[in-house]
A = this chain, B = another copy of it.
């Protein structure tokens, strides 16, 4: 099929083939408009349908009630790292952050740059971020508590979410959004850069609860103020139309082809199991995350030595499997198996891992 490769990139990442085909097939003439989807006005009926359909599908998939607002904001999750403290932390107030790796650390750093008060409530830095902290005591006076739900670099993931009492929980879900059902009653806000599980790079989905919008500080620049997006259906200025369109199609695929988030989770569990089973079957491969904190999205592992890892990555590529290099900050190997990674692709990788181990182990 068009000489496609099995793509295990950490992000931007694989998208469902049916989504790519639909984009390609209508690219010169979107829905009878005589224009490409990149050429239609964001004020047109076509784009209105795209953005509203995307939002409705997200609402259905996550079972959002009307308290929640779905926004599309540019700048990736990294822009949220500064928008969150800017919008919610008045002078003299404080927020809790749990530090589970590179991305949490960056979120904390941006709050500190803004001279906001930050409480590191828990951290797994003591063991190189190889686990998710448990039994955390959150600060009752915090305006919000922030976590990173899945950690792409260290391959850890919150299997259940912490109880923060009355403190609104905010989660960066860039790398596991829509990979499993969510109990949204726990969250004041979640956000996700699209380029891992729901679309291309260039848009961040933000889901925000009414009461969080009431906390928004006055006198923020328009583009950095959540109410600008909530009051204008994310179209105060021209939104990243192509990225929103792709999200719409991925949501359609999730609903129609996959059948919702429960099914998606079952598939994701099966895929992760295929790889962790190979890893755990001997001593050749070694998972980097503690067993009870392992990610279903990013399977990180080491081989006996770095030369062997290089060879593994190279031979995998020769066998049609790309993107297996670990993050440059930690090395090793990583298979990112987001929603659109197929069972077929993961089976091929599991088989390759077994063969490679037999040959070299």
Contact = CB atoms under 8 A, between A and B. Distances in A.
A29 interface: yes
Contacts of A195: 238, 241
A27 B20 contact: yes
Residue with the greatest number of chain B CB neighbours at <10 A, chosen from A15, A86, A201: A201
A263 interface: no
Question: Do most interface residues of chain A lie in helix, strand or loop, or is the interface mixed?
Answer: loop
A322 interface: yes
A24 B28 contact: yes
A200 B246 contact: no
Contacts of A79: 74-75, 223
Interface stretch (A31-39, A141-149, A272-280, A350-358): A31-39
A223 B75 contact: yes
9 contacts: A3-B29, A4-B35, A9-B40, A12-B39, A81-B223, A82-B222, A82-B224, A195-B238, A202-B202
Given A113-B220, A113-B222, A221-B110, A28 B36 contact: no
A28 B12 contact: no
A43 B201 CA distance: 13
Contact of A41 (B15, B221, B323): B323
Given A219-B113, A224-B82, A38 B12 contact: yes
